[in-house]
């Protein structure tokens, strides 16, 4: 007898009660396709001499396939990397106020570009213009997709076919593809580098300005530090020089917080308000770095320059949608009450969390982790750790934290990579970091309210 005749038919499998309930969950089209694929694979394998799977194992394959298809690609993870504003993990987690505002804007029509008072057409930037001006001291503001877009748009508007003077020490690359010289070129501006890597003086700038100069520009050294024998020209001196020559002085600030971080015991990070007060005519910064909001690029500055930028047809191509504006407005509102900002703004709350809280969490969660790693040749201990802010904010500063170090017993270092992969394979992936022979799990970004979920998630841990 042909062994393939033992293989259950597609129709028989589809009428199996277990498959019927999969169909109710995932839909007929998806399940039928998975059943056909499972039967075809089994037939292929049998032809190659492998044993035929029984109906139960075919159904298990279909169930696993359906679950995999139903799992979103963009899914929540536990960020235990120790980097709070982790670009690859979505940067700032949003506060509940912003989440509620996004849901409301997504659900219903909203006054995105509609003036409720007059019934006429409105401007989407007006949703946050007033707040941004109030919080930065600028005259006007506009919002685009991210800070890279903001820099691109300002260069393309103000410096097309003209020269932009920048210190050599500031020609930065931000992780991935954002390099200042490349953005300049694409925006149609000509970069004029002045000074040296470590030292730039006012006269370097004044000697470089010509009738073709469009602006003097400062780019904040957000992801590196130059130390030792260094000199950068203070912002107010650059502003004065630019204004003497009738030029704008523009700052790409990168990460822009709108509050004084020192008040929370964090190192000082320059703010757009300080830039504007020092005489900058235009400042660009990100919405999802230290500001703690959604991905966006914010431009604040003089009425005249912002108006020119908004008239550039590329503004339309780079603008943000209603969901971003809803979140941004809600986050900016929180800054009106700076006293409670560290309780209400999730990113700041995580950045200012005292070490003892992470240590207490580690003590509560140690049994669950030990239980998961029980059969593996590793030791787990609670250790002090140093978190970083991330996303190019305050690159050299570290925040005292606490968490777990998992170390192999003996010389079996391969086991750490297997555990790291198994943690990533959990229903809610756990992302740690391997450093110096240990797998480290920093608990700073695990909220107290998520601890039960974290422990339950670990129950699914499977490491071969």
Shortest CB 154 distance to ligand PLP, Å: 11
Strand runs labelled E in 21-69:
none
Phi, psi of 143 (to 5 degrees): -130, 135
Pattern 156-175, ligand PLP, x by CB under 6 A: ------------------x-
The two beta strands, 140-144 and 163-167, are unpaired
Half-sphere exposure (CA, 13 Å, Cβ side) for 169? 21
Phi, psi of 20 (to 5 degrees): -60, -40
Q: How many residues bind ligand PLP (CB under 6 A)?
A: 15
Phi, psi of 235 (to 5 degrees): -60, -40
Contact 287, 294 (CB under 8 A): yes
From the list 124-132, 140-148, 197-205, 361-369, the region that binds ligand PLP by CB under 6 A is: 140-148
Q: Is 392 in the site for ligand PLP (CB under 6 A)?
A: yes
Q: Is 324 in the site for ligand PLP (CB under 6 A)?
A: no
Question: Rounded CA gap, 153 and 187, in Å?
Answer: 7
Shortest CB 135 distance to ligand PLP, Å: 18
Q: Is 219 in the site for ligand PLP (CB under 6 A)?
A: yes
Q: Is 220 in the site for ligand PLP (CB under 6 A)?
A: yes
| Long-range Cβ contact pairs of 370-375 (< 8 A, separation 24 or more) | 371/458, 372/458, 372/459, 372/461, 373/406, 373/419, 373/461, 373/463
Q: Is 148 in the site for ligand PLP (CB under 6 A)?
A: yes
Shortest CB 395 distance to ligand PLP, Å: 10
CB-closest chain residue to ligand PLP: 254
Shortest CB 291 distance to ligand PLP, Å: 10
Q: Is 142 in the site for ligand PLP (CB under 6 A)?
A: no
From the list 124-132, 208-216, 247-255, 374-382, the region that binds ligand PLP by CB under 6 A is: 247-255
Q: Which two tokens stand for residue 135?
A: 């919080």
Q: Which two tokens stand for residue 144?
A: 């685009």
Q: Which residues within the stretch 251-290 sit at the binding site for ligand PLP (CB under 6 A)?
A: 252, 254-255, 286
Question: What residues line the site for ligand PLP (CB under 6 A)?
Answer: 146-148, 151, 174, 178, 219-220, 222, 252, 254-255, 286, 297, 392
């Amino acid at each position: 007898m042909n062994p393939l005749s033992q293989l259950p038919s597609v129709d028989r499998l589809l009428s199996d009660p277990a498959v019927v309930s999969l169909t109710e969950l995932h839909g007929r089209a998806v399940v039928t396709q998975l059943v056909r694929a499972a039967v075809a694979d089994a037939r292929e394998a049998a032809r190659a001499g492998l044993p035929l799977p029984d109906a139960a194992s075919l159904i298990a394959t279909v169930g696993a396939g359906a679950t995999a298809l139903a799992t979103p690609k963009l899914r929540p993870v536990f960020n235990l990397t120790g980097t709070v504003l982790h670009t690859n993990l979505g940067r700032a987690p949003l506060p509940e106020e912003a989440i509620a505002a996004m849901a409301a804007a997504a659900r219903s029509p909203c006054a995105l570009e509609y003036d409720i008072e007059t019934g006429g057409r409105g401007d989407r930037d007006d949703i946050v213009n007033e707040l941004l001006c109030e919080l930065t001291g600028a005259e006007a503001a506009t919002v685009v997709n991210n800070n890279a877009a903001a820099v691109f748009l300002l260069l393309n508007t103000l410096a097309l076919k003209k020269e932009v003077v920048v210190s050599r020490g500031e020609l930065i690359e931000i992780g991935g593809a954002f390099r200042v010289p490349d953005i300049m070129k694409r925006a149609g501006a000509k970069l004029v580098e002045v000074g040296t890597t470590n030292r730039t003086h006012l006269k370097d700038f004044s000697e470089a300005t010509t009738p073709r100069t469009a602006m003097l520009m400062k780019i904040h050294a957000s992801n590196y530090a130059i130390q030792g024998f260094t000199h950068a020209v203070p912002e107010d001196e650059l502003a004065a020089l630019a204004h003497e020559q009738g030029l704008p002085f523009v700052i790409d600030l990168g990460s822009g917080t709108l509050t004084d971080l020192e008040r929370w015991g964090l190192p000082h990070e320059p703010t757009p308000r300080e830039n504007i007060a020092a005489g900058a005519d235009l400042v660009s910064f990100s919405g999802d770095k230290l500001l703690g909001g959604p991905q966006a690029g914010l431009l604040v500055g003089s009425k005249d320059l912002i108006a020119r930028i908004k008239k550039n047809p590329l503004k339309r191509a780079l603008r943000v949608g209603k969901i971003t504006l809803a979140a941004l407005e809600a986050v900016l509102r929180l800054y009106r009450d700076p006293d409670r900002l560290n309780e209400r703004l999730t990113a700041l709350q995580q950045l200012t969390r005292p070490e003892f809280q992470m240590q207490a969490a580690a003590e509560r969660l140690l049994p669950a982790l030990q239980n998961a790693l029980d059969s593996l040749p590793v030791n787990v201990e609670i250790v002090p750790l140093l978190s970083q802010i991330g996303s190019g904010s305050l690159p050299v500063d570290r925040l005292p934290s606490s968490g777990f170090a998992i170390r192999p017993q003996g010389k079996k270092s391969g086991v750490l990579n297997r555990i790291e992969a198994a943690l990533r394979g959990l229903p809610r992936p756990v992302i740690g970091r391997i450093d110096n022979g240990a797998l480290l799990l920093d608990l700073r970004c695990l909220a107290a309210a998520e601890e039960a979920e974290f422990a339950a998630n670990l129950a699914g841990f499977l490491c071969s």
